[in-house]
């Protein structure tokens, strides 16, 4: 046996699961390769990537915001700050020069917590958003929100009786990271209604009490707001009630707010947990995460994000610093992306017009597609789709006939996975089945993103498939 055989490795690695890039995504890549040959023999001519919130991925092609890319280009090749005066707008050059003075070459390691100047800009952004002070020394720039979540879960899992409350359905980063560190996932169930998905404090408290009864310490409550995969946006009252629950049980609040600017309706409003904690003068320890991967920036590949620590003891912040310093520093390109996200061009600056046009176009497209898709899916037999006022996804529920359930069982698959595989095989549409996010027993869902252009044709295909599938097993 090889000394590097799986059986010789950390056994926790085996338990890690991450459906967003799982079997369906791998198969879709295989199909994409096959389609390069004219005699591919597949019943479709294109793979539709609806499985992942990766806006700039090939096939989704959301254009990057020009300002951020101009600043990034200038910092990549500083001589352009002089020679590119006819190509780059003056405010992009000024921004790049300002950042260059602070950072120097992007080829050098920075402060392990992130460039201090950029952290100050993040703090100002937070202050403007919430109306409360923010301490740049309690902000950590990270390689995407994922790196921050991973670090915090590593910190919180102190023994084999440490649990973290996670929403079900959830973004699988949470269960995957808990599996990696041997923490116990404590599921609390989101409630699906015709009006949308909700988070009830009573349900979270039920999960807290169950954990305590079973001898598990609920160390933290993870909340994804706006939600992935469900697209819900919490009301202020819901947030306040959750903060009070954390106070009552001395639980750390992990607020995943990476979709904070993806709000599609006038009724929904994003409020940060930082603001709620400050409004309530609460002493709850809060870590809130943000990212350049979502929103309108969509720069997933640059790996930029940050987290802010509120009510966290200085000694713990020092330990966080110690641990991030082992990794030297977050990627500098990602840090520059964070600066552009928290300091976009403002009215009166040369780049403002274009930035406004680009961001308005993305917001409008996402809102229109989300509404259009939900309406169309809702009109199908055997499918219901709760509205999704935020984030980038829909999470429709499948009500499949008995014969389909039996066929899935026979194939050794969950019903929604069986459905999603058939959808991919027959139409090239790649979604993620609900079992990858968790759901109540006996339910079936799938997640699809609202990022695909040409949505009419794509929904037509999905509808046709769905009707045939239902007929086949009726
Ligand atoms: C809820 C949520 N949190 C965190 C992330 C991680 O994002 P990133 O690491 O790219 O910032 C994602 C990515 O899809 C997400 O949906």
State yes or no: pLDDT of 310 exceeds 70: yes
- Name the CATH architecture for the domain at 6-62+357-472: Alpha-Beta Complex (3.90)
> Distance from the CA of 249 to the center of ligand 1, in angstroms?
27
Grade residue 447 by pLDDT with cuts at 50, 70 and 90: very high
* Vertex 388 angle, CA 382 and 392, to 5°: 110
Place of tokens 């991030």: 324
Query: Rg of the chain over CA atoms, in angstroms?
Result: 23
> Distance from the CA of 255 to the center of ligand 1, in angstroms?
12
Which of 50, 199, 293 to mutate to test ligand 1, by most ligand atoms within 8 A of the CB atom? 293
Over residues 86-125, the pLDDT tens digits come to 899 999 999 999 999 999 999 999 999 999 999 999 999 9
Element (H, E) at 132: none
Q: Which of 207-211, 333-337, 378-382 is least confident?
A: 378-382
* Beta partners for residue 390, in sequence order: 263
> Distance from the CA of 145 to the center of ligand 1, in angstroms?
6
Grade residue 304 by pLDDT with cuts at 50, 70 and 90: very high
Per-residue HEC secondary structure of 225-284 comes to CCCCCCCCCCCHHHHHHHHHHHHHHCCEEEEECCCCCCECCCCCCCCCHHHHHHHCCCCC
Tokens of 379: 């009109």
Place of tokens 């306040």: 240
Are the CB atoms for 358 and 64 separated by under 8 Å? no
| Spatial separation of the C-alpha atoms in residues 444 and 435, rounded to whole Å | 8
Are the CB atoms for 129 and 308 separated by under 8 Å? no
| Spatial separation of the C-alpha atoms in residues 181 and 149, rounded to whole Å | 12
Element (H, E) at 383: strand 383-384
Domain 6-62+357-472 shares a fold with domain 109-342: no
Over residues 30-64, the pLDDT tens digits come to 999 999 998 888 999 999 888 888 888 887 788 99
Residues 6+ apart with CB under 8 A from 160: 182, 184
> Distance from the CA of 2 to the center of ligand 1, in angstroms?
35
Mean pLDDT of 456-468: 90
Are the CB atoms for 163 and 218 separated by under 8 Å? yes
> Distance from the CA of 53 to the center of ligand 1, in angstroms?
8
Q: What share of the chain is helix, strand, coil (3-state, %, to 5)?
A: 45, 15, 40
CATH topology of domain 109-342: 3.40.640
Considering only CA atoms, which of 203, 207, 265 is closest in space to residue 233? 265
Dihedral sign, CA of 144, 227, 118, 298? positive
- Residue 300 CA, closest ligand 1 atom number: 10
Mean of per-residue pLDDT scores for the chain = 93
Residues 6+ apart with CB under 8 A from 343: 95, 121, 125
Residues 6+ apart with CB under 8 A from 470: 381, 382, 400, 401, 404
DSSP annotation of 102: H
Mean pLDDT of 303-332: 95
| Spatial separation of the C-alpha atoms in residues 69 and 13, rounded to whole Å | 37
In this predicted structure, what is the pLDDT of residue 15? 78
DSSP annotation of 343: S
DSSP annotation of 133: -
State yes or no: pLDDT of 22 exceeds 90: no
State yes or no: pLDDT of 416 exceeds 90: yes
DSSP annotation of 183: P
DSSP H helical ranges for 312-454:
314-326, 332-342, 352-378, 402-410, 415-427
Mean pLDDT of 149-174: 94
What ranges do the domains of the chain cover?
6-62+357-472, 109-342
> Distance from the CA of 260 to the center of ligand 1, in angstroms?
12
- Residue 146 CA, closest ligand 1 atom number: 9
Over residues 256-288, the pLDDT tens digits come to 999 999 999 989 999 999 999 999 999 999 999
In this predicted structure, what is the pLDDT of residue 8? 83
| Spatial separation of the C-alpha atoms in residues 13 and 120, rounded to whole Å | 37
Grade residue 383 by pLDDT with cuts at 50, 70 and 90: very high
> Distance from the CA of 25 to the center of ligand 1, in angstroms?
17
In this predicted structure, what is the pLDDT of residue 162? 96
State yes or no: pLDDT of 426 exceeds 80: yes
Backbone phi and psi for residue 132, each to the nearest 5 degrees, phi listed first: -130, 150
Are the CB atoms for 355 and 345 separated by under 8 Å? yes
- Residue 149 CA, closest ligand 1 atom number: 4
| Spatial separation of the C-alpha atoms in residues 229 and 448, rounded to whole Å | 9
Grade residue 457 by pLDDT with cuts at 50, 70 and 90: confident
Grade residue 20 by pLDDT with cuts at 50, 70 and 90: low
Are the CB atoms for 140 and 148 separated by under 8 Å? yes
Grade residue 19 by pLDDT with cuts at 50, 70 and 90: low
> Distance from the CA of 246 to the center of ligand 1, in angstroms?
23
Are the CB atoms for 300 and 54 separated by under 8 Å? yes
Tokens of 261: 């600017």
- Residue 143 CA, closest ligand 1 atom number: 9
State yes or no: pLDDT of 399 exceeds 90: yes
Buried b (16+ CB within 10 A) or exposed e, 368-377: ebbbebbebb
Q: Which of 39-53, 131-145, 195-209, 349-363 is least confident?
A: 39-53
- Which amino acids bring their CB within 6 angstroms of ligand 1? 53, 144-146, 171, 173, 224, 228, 256, 258, 291, 293, 300, 305
| Spatial separation of the C-alpha atoms in residues 440 and 189, rounded to whole Å | 7
Which of 226, 291, 338, 388 to mutate to test ligand 1, by most ligand atoms within 8 A of the CB atom? 291
Omega within 30 of 0 (cis) for the link into 229 = yes
């Amino acid at each position: 046996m090889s000394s590097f055989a799986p059986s010789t490795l950390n056994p926790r690695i085996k338990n890690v699961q991450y459906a967003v890039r799982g079997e369906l995504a791998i198969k879709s890549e295989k199909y994409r390769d096959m389609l390069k040959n004219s005699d591919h023999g597949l019943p479709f001519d294109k793979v539709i990537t609806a499985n992942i919130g990766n806006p700039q991925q090939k096939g989704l092609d959301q254009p990057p915001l020009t300002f951020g890319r101009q600043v990034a280009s200038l910092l990549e090749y500083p001589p352009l700050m002089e020679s590119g005066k006819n190509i780059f707008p003056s405010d992009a050059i000024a921004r790049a020069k300002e950042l260059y003075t602070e950072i120097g070459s992007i080829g050098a390691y920075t402060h392990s917590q992130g460039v201090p100047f950029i952290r100050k800009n993040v703090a100002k952004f937070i202050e403007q958003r919430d109306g409360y002070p923010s301490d740049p020394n309690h902000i950590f720039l990270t390689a995407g929100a994922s790196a921050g979540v991973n670090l915090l879960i590593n910190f919180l899992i102190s023994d084999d009786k440490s649990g973290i409350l996670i929403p079900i359905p959830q973004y699988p980063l949470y269960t995957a990271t808990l599996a990696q560190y041997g923490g116990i996932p404590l599921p609390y169930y989101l409630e699906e209604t015709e009006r949308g998905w909700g988070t009830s404090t009573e349900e979270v408290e039920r999960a807290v009490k169950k954990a305590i009864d079973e001898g598990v310490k609920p160390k933290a409550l993870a909340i994804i707001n706006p939600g992935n995969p469900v697209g819900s946006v919490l009301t202020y009252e819901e947030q306040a009630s959750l903060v009070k629950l954390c106070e009552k049980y001395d639980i750390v609040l992990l607020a995943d707010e990476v979709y904070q600017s993806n709000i599609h309706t006038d009724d929904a409003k994003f409020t940060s947990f930082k603001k709620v904690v400050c409004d309530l003068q609460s002493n709850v320890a809060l870590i809130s995460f943000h990212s350049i991967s979502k929103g309108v920036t969509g720069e997933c590949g640059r790996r930029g994000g940050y987290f802010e620590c509120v009510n966290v003891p200085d000694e713990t912040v020092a330990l966080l610093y110690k641990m991030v310093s082992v990794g030297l520093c977050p990627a500098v390109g990602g840090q520059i992306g964070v600066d552009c996200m928290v300091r976009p061009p403002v009215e009166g600056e040369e780049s403002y017009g274009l930035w406004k046009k680009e961001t308005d176009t993305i917001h409008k497209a996402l809102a229109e597609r989300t509404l259009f898709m939900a309406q169309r899916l809702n009109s199908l037999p055997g499918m219901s789709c709760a509205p999704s006022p935020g984030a980038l996804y829909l999470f429709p529920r499948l009500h499949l006939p008995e014969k389909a359930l039996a066929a899935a069982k026979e194939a050794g698959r969950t019903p929604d996975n069986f459905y999603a595989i058939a959808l991919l095989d027959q139409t090239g549409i790649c979604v993620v089945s609900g079992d990858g996010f968790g759901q109540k027993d006996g339910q079936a869902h799938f997640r699809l993103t609202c990022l695909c252009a040409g949505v009419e044709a794509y929904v037509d295909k999905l509808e046709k498939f769905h009707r045939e599938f239902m007929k086949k097993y009726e």
